[in-house]
Amino acid sequence: MSHSRRDVLIAGSSALALAALPARAAQSADAGAQAMLADMAEAMLADAPETASGLGIDSGARAALKSRLGDKSPAGQARIAAHVAERLAKLRAVNRAALSPATRTDVDVVLAAHELAADGFAFPFGDMAMMNSNWSYRNSPYAVAQNTGSFVETPDFLDSNHAIKDRADADAYLARLSAYAANLTGETERLRHDAGIGVVAPAFLLDKTLKQMTAVQAQPIEQWVPVASIARRTKDMAGDYDAKAAAIVKAEVAPALAAQIAELQRQRATATMDAGAWKLPQGDAYYAWALQAGTTTRMTPDAVHQLGLDQLAALQGKMDGLLKGLGLTKGTVGERMTAMGKDPRYLFPNDDKGRAQILSYIDGRLADIRTRLPRAFATLVPGKLIVKRVPVEIEAGAPGAYAGAGSIDGSVPGNYYINLRDTSIWPRYALPTLCYHEGIPGHIWQGEYTYKLPLIRSLLAFNAYSEGWALY
C-alpha cells in the first residue's frame, strides 16, 4: 500500500499529539493540585494570622490579617480542628499518581502534616501546633505552661513581628492587643476544662510560669512589653498610641492575666512533680503521637529511647578522647564537662558587662561563619538576623536560646534570642555551636531556604526537619 507525503505527515502529527497527552494531563493535574494547596495556605493563614505577619505577607489582599490573632479559645480551637479535617478530606481525594514528582511531594508533605494535626486534635486537651507561627514547632499537653501560651508568645510577637510603618499598622496593633486579652481568657477556659479531666502541668512548670506572670503583673503598665513597644515605635506619630495601648492593657489584658494567674495558682495547690505523659488521659497514645509528630517516624517509644542511649554512648566516647586531650582525665564525661563549665578561663563576668561581651562574641562568630558558607552551600540565602537578649521579664522560664527567620521579602530580619539571666550557663566554648544551630547556618538559614518552596510548605513546621537541619 502506498502512502502520500500528506498521509505520513498526518500520521506523524497524530503520534506526537498522542505522546503529548500524558504530559498535558500531568500539567493539568499539577495545576489543580497547586491551586488547591494555594487556597489551603490562605485558609491556614486565616487561622493563624501571626504567621502572615512573621512572613511579612500581611498586606494587600491579606491586610485584614494584621488586626487579628489566632483564636486560642475552646471554640476557636474547635474551628481550626474542623478546618484541618476538611482539608484532610480534600488531600486524601487527590489522585497523587497523576501528579509530577515535585507536586506529588508537595501534596504528600501537606497531607502528612494534616494527618498528624488531625490525630493531635483528637485528644481532648493540650496545645496543638502544625504551623511555624512563631519560633519553633512545638506541641504541648498543656494549654499554658512556661514557654507555651499567649502570655509568653504574644508580647514577643507584637514587639518583633508586628511591623508599624503608619497609623493603620498602629491601629491594627491595638486591635491585636484586645485579641490578646481574649486569648488569655480563652486559654484560662481551656485550663479549667483540662484540669477537670486530670490534665494539670507539673508543679515545677507551674512555679516557673507563675514566676514569669507575677513578675510582669508587678510592673507598671507602661513597662509591659506590648505598651513599651508601641510607645517606642510611634513616638513620632500622631494618635497617642502609648496611652491607648496602656488603656487596653489596664482594662482588658491585666484582668485577663490576673484570672489566668488565679487559675494556675488554684491548680498549683494540688499539682504534683509528676511530669510523664503516663499521668495523662490516654497517656500512652498521646506520647506515641507526640513522638511521631516530633520525629515523623513510626518508631516505637522504646526504639527511640534505645536509639538515644546508643547515640549518647557514641558521643560520650568521642568526648572522652577530646577531654583527655585537654588534660581532663578524671571522672565521667559528664563530671568532666561540669568541671570544664566552671573553669574561669571559659566564663564571662556575670553582670551587664559580661552579657555585652557574650553578644559581641556571638556577632563575631556569625560574621566568621558567613565567610565559610560558600564552601558548604551551592545555593546561598541572605541569612538576615539580629541577636537579642531574651526579655528580662520572661527569662526565668524561657529556654536557653531560640530563633526564627525573618520575613519572606527580607525587610524584617530574623531574631536569635539568647537567655542571659546567668552568664555562667554560657561558657565560651559552648557559644560557637549555639550560634551555628540557632543562627547561621541553622534555624535562620534553614527558615530562609523554605521561602523558595510553595507558600504552604513555608507555613508547615516539621520538628524533625527544622531541628535536624540545625543539628546537622
The verdict on 365 and 218 lying in the same domain is no
Instruction: Tally the domains of the chain.
Output: 2
- Model pLDDT, residue 395: 83
The verdict on 444 and 354 lying in the same domain is yes
| Residue 388 backbone phi and psi in degrees, to 5 | -135, 155
Is 425 among the domain residues? yes
- Model pLDDT, residue 11: 57
Q: Are 134 and 195 in contact (CB under 8 A)?
A: no
- Model pLDDT, residue 436: 95
Is 376 among the domain residues? yes
Is 135 among the domain residues? no
What percent of the chain is predicted at pLDDT more than 90? 77
Residue type, 328: L
Tell me which residues of the chain have a pLDDT lower than 50. 133-137
Is 434 among the domain residues? yes
399-412 burial by CB neighbour count: b if 16+ within 10 A, else e?
Answer: ebbbbbbbbbeeeb
Q: Which residues constitute the domain of residue 79?
A: 37-123+143-273
Contacts 24+ apart (CB under 8 A), 188-192: 188/144, 188/256, 188/259, 188/260, 188/263, 189/73, 189/74, 190/72, 190/73, 190/74, 190/77, 190/143, 191/143, 191/144, 191/260, 191/263, 191/264, 191/267, 192/263
The verdict on 69 and 198 lying in the same domain is yes
The verdict on 192 and 269 lying in the same domain is yes
Is 279 among the domain residues? no
- Model pLDDT, residue 468: 87
The verdict on 113 and 225 lying in the same domain is yes
The verdict on 65 and 175 lying in the same domain is yes
Q: Which of 273, 302, 322 is the last residue of a domain?
A: 273
The verdict on 235 and 383 lying in the same domain is no
- Model pLDDT, residue 152: 84
The verdict on 237 and 378 lying in the same domain is no
The verdict on 45 and 167 lying in the same domain is yes
Q: Which of 241, 273, 305 is the last residue of a domain?
A: 273
The verdict on 251 and 379 lying in the same domain is no
Summary mean pLDDT of the chain = 91
Q: Are 446 and 457 in contact (CB under 8 A)?
A: no
Is 396 among the domain residues? yes
Is 377 among the domain residues? yes
The verdict on 99 and 240 lying in the same domain is yes
Is 6 among the domain residues? no
Strands 401-404 and 414-418: antiparallel
Residue 342, exposed/middle/buried by CB under 10 A (0-12, 13-18, 19+)?
exposed
Q: What is the DSSP string of 165-181?
A: SSHHHHHHHHHHHHHHH
pTM, two decimals, is 0.85
The verdict on 362 and 266 lying in the same domain is no
3-state secondary structure of 240: coil
- Model pLDDT, residue 6: 58
Q: Which of 273, 297, 328 is the last residue of a domain?
A: 273
